[in-house]
Amino acid sequence: MRWDIFCKVIDNHGDLGVCWRLAAELAGRGESVRLWVDEPAALAFMAPRGAPRVEVLRWQEASAAHSPAQVVVEAFGCDPHEAYLVALAERTRREQRQPAWINLEYLSAEAWVERCHGLASPVLSGPAKGLTKKFFYPGFTPLTGGLIREQALATRQAAFDRAAWLRARSLPPEGERLISLFCYEPPVEPLLMQLARGEPTRLLVTEGRARAATGRAMRELDARQPGWNASGTLRTSFLPLMSQEQFDELLWTCDLNFVRGEDSLVRALWAGQPLVWQIYPQEDGVHRDKLDAFLDRLAAPPSLRAFHLAWNGFAPDLPPIDALSGWQRAAQAARARLLAQEDLVTQLMRMATGSCPRA
């Protein structure tokens, strides 16, 4: 089948990251995909080689000149271009059959997701009035849409050579705890102070907001507390922009992964290593409920829950990272549970063909 996936880049490229993984995996299963994006520039580093059977088009080009596909995926409530909706309605009238129209929603561990996954949503106004969308909710239980998990992921992960990865970056294979940092602007300064007083650690900082926040915190510590890392216990490496495959390998390599948003959280879960998630901050505070729901699904031990709350600004002091074995067990158990569930792309393809239980 042919798929049209619509994506608007809000900020931080997280939406695009999810949509690209979805498009590439659909294509890997033999589907033809057009990915409509308003700002595709980030794909130059996220997916530099592209993917066979995936065509990237600019959002503004989605007009009547492009016949709508058999399946339309509207990612995160982005509403396809109006000209495309006109063409979609015309095709429906002409063929007396509506293409599958799916609203791919954000990931959440909250209980209401199970109730809403697969529900229909009639379009009540605009050029597509009278058509119907279906809600598709990713999630962490069998009653949700699951998580993106490529068919080749297990093979890639099993073949990964950690020692070779470290050698290629001139990093010692032993003697340092490796921690990756991909974040917004959390309490980086207390983290640096804690790591400088603990066991030998290499902090691998990703490009972008994590690098900016870490650089700022280090300058402030140098000015206010010279010698805060005099022993050299903490060493910091700033990484370049990475492709999605390279980012996966970073997560597989590290002993602890700090991640943010949606796409990197899922990749950290598949890595099976201890993780700390920074949820996207929201002014109304609803992200606290979402964070608590995720920690419940993770069956997070008390130390990991406490660290998450402080890292996300819900508690004043950052607890010590001294219980990684317990964090590891929670991550491995969560990964095993999720691997036993059906993946997102398989379920999405089933919904598109009309065989979803709530169709």
What are phi and psi for residue 37, nearest 5 degrees?
A: -130, 140
As a 3-state breakdown, the chain gives helix, strand, coil percent values, each rounded to 5, of 40, 15, 40
The torsion of the CA quartet 200, 205, 209, 214, rounded to 10 degrees, works out to: 30
**Are the C-beta atoms of 29 and 349 separated by less than 8 Å?**
yes
Closest CA to 294 of 20, 15, 106: 106
Report the C-alpha gap between 330 and 336 in whole angstroms: 10
Q: Is 262 part of the annotated catalytic residue set?
A: yes
Report the C-alpha gap between 251 and 242 in whole angstroms: 12
Q: Is 185 part of the annotated catalytic residue set?
A: no
Report the C-alpha gap between 232 and 220 in whole angstroms: 17
Write down the catalytic residue from 4, 248, 262, 343.
262
**Are the C-beta atoms of 16 and 37 separated by less than 8 Å?**
yes
Residue with tokens 């949606």: 262
Report the C-alpha gap between 42 and 64 in whole angstroms: 27
- Name the residues annotated as catalytic: 15, 262
